Structure 1
Amino acid sequence: MGALDKLTLLPVLDLSGIMSYINKALRRLQKEKNSPYEAYRHLFDFSEKKPQRYSKWLSLVGVMTVFCFAAAMIVFLNTLDETKARAVFQSVPFKPPVAAIYAQALEMQRKGNLQEAKTSYEKIVKIDPQNVQALNNLGVIYMEQKDYEMAIKYFHDALDMNNEYVDAHYNLACVYAQKKDSVQSMMYLKKAVAFNPQARQWAKNDDDLKPLRGLPEFSALMKEPGNLP
Structure 2
Amino acid sequence: MSGVAGVLLAAGRSARMGRPKQLLPLAGQPLVRRAAHALAQGGFDELLCVIPPGEVGEAVQAALTGLPYRFVLNADPARGLGSSLRAAVEALTEGRAAVLAGAHFALADMPLLTGAHHAALRRAFEASGAPVVLTEYGEPGAPDPVRAPPHLFRADLLGAVRDAPDADHGPRHVIRAYAAQALTLSFPAELLLDVDTPEAFAQAQARLGE
Tell whether the structures are fold-level matches, with TM greater than 0.5: no
Q: Of Structure 1 and Structure 2, which has the larger fraction of its residues in helix?
A: 1
Which structure carries more relative contact order (alpha carbon 8 Å, separation 6+)?
A: 2
Could you tell me the TM-score, scaled by structure 1's length? 0.24
Larger Rg: 1
